[in-house]
Structure 1
Amino acid sequence: MTQQHEQHEQLSATLLLVDDEENILKSLCRQLRHEPYEILIANGAEQALQLLNQKSVDLLISDARMPGMDGATLLTEVQQRWPECVRILLTGQADLSTTIKAINQGRIYRYISKPWDDEELRLTIRQALAFQHSERERERLEQLTKEQNQRLQELNTTLELRVRARTEELQQTADMLDLAYAELKRSYVTATEVFSGLVAQRIPRDKQANSQVIALLRAYCEHHGYDENMSRDLAMAAALYNLGKLTWNDNLLRSPADLLYKTERERYRQYPVLGESLLMSLEPLQDAARLIRHHQERWDGGGFPDRLKGETIPLGARLLKLAVDFVELQCGLVLERRLSRDEALLLIQKYSGKLYDPQLCERFVVLCTELAPDLALADPSILAVDTRRLEPGMLLARNLNAENGTLLLNEGKQLSRALIDKLIAFEQSEGARYTLFVRPAPQTSITSQDAV
């Protein structure tokens, strides 16, 4: 504490002197007349209590022996009613019991023996006031600390609530973005399949292979537990693998690859590169575009366009080649003669290790054999149902294409009564009959006997 601050505290101190002897009071006042205190005097305990009721007192000096209420009793009363007031007892040699009482019950700061030493008296008062000041400062700081801690706790609670609310808000936003992004990715798959139907309009109906390639690859991915990204990229690549053929004339589109002459063969070898270049500007389709570029590479390195070999060929591209060749062999797009399903599988097995990845080839042949004659029916939960047996709530397990190859409904679509009625009306207008592969609605009454 600085000297200026200490002096300020002393100037603000009020002292109460209590003694029944007037000369003692005068002597005390005389000793303190040069000290910067406000001095109050009382000639007995009763008067002292009255003054204490009227005014705040910092320090009280009381004589031990007084008529009526003695000093020890007065200091005990003061301690109980004004505990912040510092208490000092003036006592003689014969007042030991009074002094003990003052110490034990009045909890006095000090006692001063009569006759007192003037300098010691003044020093004792200064020390008592300094002690009082330090106690008040301690209590003030404790209270301030308590208030600050309380405010800090309130701020922390508020901050935690705000952080929690903000975190929940951000999580909700992130979840919404995830859902939006997932929906966007699904919409890209649907869009590619719709566009695949448009591409198919350039190709004769009996040579349209995209929908069958898509179904094959989707079944393979589901059967072998491929992740969502791989399955999605393969589905988009299957839908658009022949996009580069759009620049061909009708004759080239109908011609089997094995019968093409030199110029046409060179053009044929460029269609995977052209298909990739048409899709590379679309970021979500870049991985699918890479599969399209390499789906005509061969396991032995004799393919095109980059003559990749073995496992340097992307896995999806190796699988796409198997599905494309299997379907196109049956469509007459590879050899002059159309092959049956079994013939196509035997030819694929023959070229395992040359054109195809041996392990993938084996799995692919097993899958096609086990799922014959229809891939969708390998799953017992999938039913083949005509339009008049459809029920609201059923989910499409496979894309529905019109007879001209146009995508009517995409896989995963939930059927409603209005949609079923539209399908029936569409059948009547087209003069066609459609079979849909569906998963039953919950608690549906459809059984395997209803399947067609």
Structure 2
Amino acid sequence: MSETALMEAVTPRVLLVDDEVGILNSLRRLLRHENFEVLTAESAEAALEILEQNPVELIISDARMPGMDGATLLAKVWEKWPKTIRILLTGFADLNTTVKAINAGRIHRYISKPWDDDDLKETVRQWLQFQTADRERQRLEKLTEQQNLELQKLNNQLEARVKARTSELEQTADMLDLAYIELKRSYETCVEVFSTLLTQRYPLTKQTNKAIIALARHIAEAFKLSELDREQLVMAAALYNVGKVGWNDTQIHKSAEVMLKTERPAYQKYPAQGESLLMALEPIQEATKLIGLHQERWDGSGFPGGLTHDAIPHMARILKIIVDFVELQCGLLMERVLSRDEALVFLRKYANRWYDPGWIERIVPYLEREAPDLLELNPNLRAMTTAQVKPGMELAHNLYAASGILLLNKGKLLSQPLIEKLCAYEGSEKARYTLFVKISEAAPREATS
């Protein structure tokens, strides 16, 4: 009988071994109402045959038997089935046999003859409970080992996919010590993968994390932030909106500007909620603080704490500028989607109110020189003038007049008469509209005015 078979036994078995049939019968009667199966053997040799065929949790053997005595039997049991509980039944005159059983058979307990019925039953129960607990421990250890192997397998697959898609981390690996970079790369890529998963609930045009991460990295390099500040800024940029994970689909698609009164509390709590969700991750403790404070405003009108000026950590002030610059171009801050240039005008307008004026004077010129229009990151979207659009194109964002009036809803198919009306209205307002349209290889669909 193998150790595996013993572990998988369902109904416990107790083997009684004694060359005296009367004693065997007496023990069988004593234990017949217990919650286990009782097997008997009239010799050590017969007991070993039973053990070869059946899993046995506990064996009780008489000390004195013709041929092989109880101590020798239990020694053999210990050698071949060490998990089986071994109890020696011995008389007062069997001291030498008892000592032998303790030394060679490593018995768990010996019981003197004549035995006390209650004591014997309780002893068997306790050791079987121990056996059950030990078997459960082994099962859980095996399960944990299997789960760890499976987790390692999934982690290896994840790393392989991330390495295949991430060239920037490979460049970092060339610059730093290999052992340090391997550890750092695994951690950062896992954060970015988690960040990517968070964005899947957003429509394609409102998936901001990738652009915010890239912009955070470029700004950290351009302004020569310390290595620690760079790491924390990028981590916070990747996970800044994790506090929105519990929002419903309706709210998560809305811009902050048009949220209902009942939705505002959730919006104002999302930075603190994100910080709470990530507090247990020790390596990004500083990043979680940035996440919790990235909606604070220079003049104290922000949330969640209403902090002002230097009470707001400077990295949180930078993150606020980055997040708003991207969200303005994705329709998450205002209902009207702004172009890159319009977003830069907005940042300057709210300097000294929402934003640290010192950082605005440094970052905005950099963005004017270096930051691409976010639509360039999406090959399926284009910003066009009314003279450039064609019939059949579909609006990707709402179109507003210069006065703020909503002219066309997103999803509207443009027709030739509609384009002509827009051109005429544009002329009457002396304005120039920018239309964000979806571009695909398929031919434009038929549209009605």
Could you state the TM-score of these two structures normalised by the residue count of structure 1? 0.43
The structure that has the greater radius of gyration is 1
Q: Which gives a bigger RCO, structure 1 or 2 (Cα 8 Å, sep 6+)?
A: 1
